[in-house]
Chain A
């Protein structure tokens, strides 16, 4: 089985750093995730959003990587939003209680809207 790859591309949208994830989040994804997070830190974002809409596979090692990323974001005081999760991955986020520590929304528009609402409060 070929080693899966994860692409993690960072962009800034309305002050929110979005990491577009494409591929598999497993043991091979660590370098890409860490690099992406460091890139977002330089952007001084108001929030960090993880776009899972093109993620095919997440395993327990991938969950651990997300936990690690979430821990760093909390330390850096960046709220984390996740969007584009499939029903299955959304359920895994609930089971693991990751959803207690990051806001889960359906898509990018909802993520941006939520951030805007938070700003206006």
Chain B
């Protein structure tokens, strides 16, 4: 309100009917502040026409200010019932009173000026809003850039171990990050962390935390000592109301030990022969209080066992009924899906999509890391100890749901084609992949989901420099998937067999490898193209 009135005052000052010299309008006593709840506002809101300031009897600070500024008349500018400004006039230069005609002219002027002023105000508000939006978008771009730069482009290659990672940023870009540190003794440091707050501030704290963590991990062996040092180093420069939760662990691929300490981060799970258990260790988040001590624990991972590390983005996701996905559900899914890390992650993501039914607005980042021991010992493990990180895991290209509707396999083909456009595939390989994706999606829609549109087909992609995997999941779990057999074309041509039945056969011939996993509720087909040393065509 005060700004609007100040602006009107300036307009008035330039018009010549003012209480200050026209030659120095910018030096005029232009700032007449009127508080929103000043009684003058209520009065002027309902006043009609010109108001003589000297005749008003109100206990109003604004009124006093107007008088002190030499205002004799004021004309409320009202648009759509809202007081949007005042037309203030001082003493006439002729020192005569304002005439009836003057007042009529002012009233008429105010009637015409009010809507014009309102339009001008709205235009300015829109411009301000556009500038704010542009600035926010720019900040989001910067935050995303920082975050993507910090996430590892390499997954560790440890023979005898399978590692899969998944990261999806929230709409506003949260503070999740994960990382791997190859330590000198052949062990592997694994970080999963989450910075409170979002956007650029979170991204900057993430960058700092990552650097400090790397430095500490390279000097200290014990995860608890690493977290304690990082905590103390972060505290002096941690912005107010911000902190970092972090689970730092050290995996020894030879001894198969997993040592970990937790600075207030979400639950980690171990899926072992005896079921799923929580990996518990207590500790305060980083950056809150100095000289914290962190509990440290160690487990031995047996062949076939899996560790799942995560941020809280999955467990704390909400559906449209404001129900939370929850750690118990994560634990149950982990228990129900005894397959490899990549399939496990694809299953969790598919369940998240199903749970939120497309209504999820990416409240928070989602980070998932799965590490599985796939049986290895002796010299092979010794070799594995020294293996350099050779696998490059590109960021997840895409994931999406396809409604189960006839013809929608074309949509799946289109989206997968877009997702893999940065991967160096020959046109022949791409065409084969497209055919395989189309066929697998058709099967999923028809056989898995019975063409029920509310049961979408979930498709996700993961790529490394060794292979590209496309996971296609439907809701047909519990039903047996027939093995691909070579169709008997002669029998079909002779009318002895249905001419149909080419789908699985085509898929198998279009990709380098095909894996099918299923449980009670889902089927997942993994289409694999080897990108190096594979069958290139």
A interface residues (Cβ-Cβ under 8 A, vs B): 1-4, 24, 26-28, 57, 59-61, 63-65, 67-68, 70-71, 74, 86-88, 91-92, 95-98, 100-101
Q: B383 at the A/B interface (Cβ < 8 Å)?
A: no
Q: Is B406 in contact with A3, judged by CB distance below 8 angstroms?
A: yes
Chain B residues with Cβ below 8 Å from A61 are 442, 500
B interface residues (Cβ-Cβ under 8 A, vs A): 405-411, 428, 431-432, 435, 438-439, 442, 487, 489, 492-495, 498-503, 505-506, 509
Q: Which residue of A lies closest to B406 (CB)?
A: A27
Select the residue from B439, B495, B498, B500 with max chain A CB neighbours within 10 A. Answer: B500
Q: Is A71 in contact with B410, judged by CB distance below 8 angstroms?
A: no
Instruction: Return the contact of A60 from the options B408, B493, B506 (Cβ within 8 A).
Output: B506
Q: Is B428 in contact with A28, judged by CB distance below 8 angstroms?
A: no
CA distance A91 to B510 in the complex (A): 10
Given A1-B411, A61-B442, 15 further pairs, Cβ under 8 A? A1-B408, A3-B407, A4-B407, A4-B410, A28-B406, A57-B410, A57-B438, A59-B435, A59-B442, A60-B506, A64-B502, A87-B428, A88-B428, A88-B431, A96-B502
Instruction: Return the contact of A26 from the options B407, B431, B505 (Cβ within 8 A).
Output: B407
B169 nearest CB across to chain A (Å) = 28
CA distance A91 to B506 in the complex (A): 11
A34 nearest CB across to chain B (Å) = 13
Q: Is B492 in contact with A59, judged by CB distance below 8 angstroms?
A: no
Given A63-B502, A95-B509, A101–B406 Cβ distance below 8 Å? no
Chain A residues with Cβ below 8 Å from B407 are 1-4, 26-28
CA distance A28 to B438 in the complex (A): 15
Q: Is B502 in contact with A71, judged by CB distance below 8 angstroms?
A: no
CA distance A28 to B442 in the complex (A): 13
Q: Is B442 in contact with A67, judged by CB distance below 8 angstroms?
A: no
Overall SS of chain B's interface: helix
Overall SS of chain A's interface: helix
Select the residue from A59, A65, A70, A86 with max chain B CB neighbours within 10 A. Answer: A59
Chain B residues with Cβ below 8 Å from A4 are 407, 410
Q: Is A67 in contact with B509, judged by CB distance below 8 angstroms?
A: no
Given A88-B431, A95-B509, A64–B411 Cβ distance below 8 Å? no
Chain B residues with Cβ below 8 Å from A27 are 406-407
Q: Is A67 in contact with B493, judged by CB distance below 8 angstroms?
A: yes
Instruction: Return the contact of B499 from the options A26, A68, A97 (Cβ within 8 A).
Output: A68
CA distance A98 to B499 in the complex (A): 12
CA distance A3 to B493 in the complex (A): 28
Q: Is A64 in contact with B499, judged by CB distance below 8 angstroms?
A: yes
Q: Which residue of B lies closest to A59 (CB)?
A: B438
Q: Is B503 in contact with A70, judged by CB distance below 8 angstroms?
A: no
Select the residue from B487, B494, B502 with max chain A CB neighbours within 10 A. Answer: B502
CA distance A34 to B23 in the complex (A): 90
- 11 A-B pairs within 8 Å (CB atoms) are namely A1-B410, A57-B438, A59-B438, A61-B500, A64-B501, A71-B494, A87-B428, A88-B428, A92-B506, A96-B489, A97-B489
CA distance A68 to B431 in the complex (A): 25
Chain A residues with Cβ below 8 Å from B487 are 96
CA distance A63 to B524 in the complex (A): 25
Select the residue from B408, B410, B442 with max chain A CB neighbours within 10 A. Answer: B410
Chain A residues with Cβ below 8 Å from B494 are 71
Q: Which residue of A lies closest to B495 (CB)?
A: A71
Q: Which residue of A lies closest to B492 (CB)?
A: A67
Given A71-B495, A95-B509, A96-B487, A60–B431 Cβ distance below 8 Å? no
Chain A residues with Cβ below 8 Å from B492 are 67, 71
Chain B residues with Cβ below 8 Å from A98 are 489
Chain A residues with Cβ below 8 Å from B489 are 67, 96-98, 100-101
Select the residue from B409, B428, B493, B506 with max chain A CB neighbours within 10 A. Answer: B493
B255 nearest CB across to chain A (Å) = 48
CA distance A26 to B492 in the complex (A): 18
Q: Which residue of A lies closest to B509 (CB)?
A: A95
Select the residue from B411, B435, B495, B505 with max chain A CB neighbours within 10 A. Answer: B435
Q: Is A70 in contact with B408, judged by CB distance below 8 angstroms?
A: no
Chain B residues with Cβ below 8 Å from A95 are 506, 509
Q: Is B411 in contact with A74, judged by CB distance below 8 angstroms?
A: no
Q: Is B410 in contact with A60, judged by CB distance below 8 angstroms?
A: no
Instruction: Return the contact of B435 from the options A87, A92, A101 (Cβ within 8 A).
Output: A92
Q: Is A60 in contact with B495, judged by CB distance below 8 angstroms?
A: no
Chain B residues with Cβ below 8 Å from A63 are 502, 506
Chain B residues with Cβ below 8 Å from A70 are 493
CA distance A65 to B431 in the complex (A): 21
Q: Is B499 in contact with A59, judged by CB distance below 8 angstroms?
A: no
Chain A residues with Cβ below 8 Å from B410 are 1, 4, 24, 57
Chain B residues with Cβ below 8 Å from A1 are 405, 407-408, 410-411
A4 nearest CB across to chain B (Å) = 6
A60 nearest CB across to chain B (Å) = 4
Chain B residues with Cβ below 8 Å from A91 are 428
Q: Which residue of A lies closest to B494 (CB)?
A: A71
Q: Which residue of B lies closest to A2 (CB)?
A: B407
Q: Which residue of B lies closest to A98 (CB)?
A: B489
Q: Is A60 in contact with B442, judged by CB distance below 8 angstroms?
A: yes
Given A59-B438, A60-B439, A92-B506, A71–B409 Cβ distance below 8 Å? no
